[in-house]
Amino acid sequence: MLDRERIVSQLNTDRYERGLILGDRVSSTNTQVKDMAEHGAAEGCTIIADTQTGGRGRRGRVFHSPEGGLYLSTLLRPAADTDPGLITCCAAVAAARAVESLCALSVDIKWVNDLYVHGRKVAGILAEGVLTPAGGLTAVVLGVGVNVTNTLPAELADIATSLRAEGAAVEREDLAAAFLNEWERAYATLPTGDFMTEYRRRNLVPGRQVTVVQGERTYPATALAITDRGHLLVRSADGAERELVSGEVTLRL
């Protein structure tokens, strides 16, 4: 079980201390925080779990969540016109900074929400909007999953890694506190978008040949750039340029 006091003692603000909940085995930290948001929980409400039985990533994919990883979700109450996609970009920068502050590792970002070390995925971000009955944004649940000391399935060995496998010895409590501190700093720049310069610098995708997956459609393309809104510009084989708001891109690293 995680040590709550060790996390709280390292936080730069009491925002998270008041609403910090530690769990042993939960279905999904994002699902639990979303439920709390719908019942009026305040911004900063945060759940951290030892394991998830129903962890998920973007597009409903399963997020492997065994013991030894860091699984954290926090509640945001941003302005109604906030783009959840930019929150994902901002959180990726904060998570990369947190890992680098504790580990002698260089962290890259793969558009739009994955962190990579030495060409393999080490963490994922999932920001989910909570909507009013009329479709307005009332909250955002920000989820972060980091492979810390957990052992990964053999079928993921070529595409995923953990901090321990990369030679970094770090405690999950210290990483949780580091992320929340870095998130506070990055979140303050959300209205200005200043974090996007770093997001672009860390990103692996622009300039590479990728495969774009949008629903049932799959096509090869060249990734050109990332816009100020966090969208990906690509050029397909027929020369047409498209701006991807969502979807997936795969590439061989």
**Domain edges within the chain:** 4-202, 209-250
Strand ranges of the sheet holding 248-250, from the earlier edge strand across to the other edge:
241-244, 232-236, 217-226, 209-214, 248-250
Q: Are strands 137-146 and 209-214 parallel, antiparallel or unpaired?
A: unpaired
Give the C-alpha separation, 217 to 103, whole Å: 39
189: helix, strand or coil: coil
Question: Which pLDDT tens digit goes with each residue over 66-123?
Answer: 788 999 999 999 988 888 889 999 999 999 999 999 999 999 999 999 999 999 999 9
| CATH entry 1.10.599.10 includes domain 4-202 | no
For the CA atoms of 152, 30, 192, 101, the dihedral, rounded to the nearest 10 degrees, stands at -40
Give the C-alpha separation, 177 to 240, whole Å: 44
Phi and psi at 168, nearest 5°, equal -100, 125
Mean pLDDT within 188-211:
96
| CATH entry 3.10.580.10 includes domain 209-250 | no
Per-residue confidence at 208, pLDDT binned at 50, 70, 90? very high
Rounded to the nearest integer, the mean pLDDT of the chain is 91
- Looking at per-residue pLDDT, the higher value among 240 and 57 belongs to 240
Please determine, for residue 52, whether its predicted confidence score (pLDDT) is greater than 80.
Answer: no
Question: Which pLDDT tens digit goes with each residue over 163-183?
Answer: 999 999 999 999 999 999 999
- Beta bridge partners of residue 16, listed in sequence order: none
Give the C-alpha separation, 83 to 79, whole Å: 9
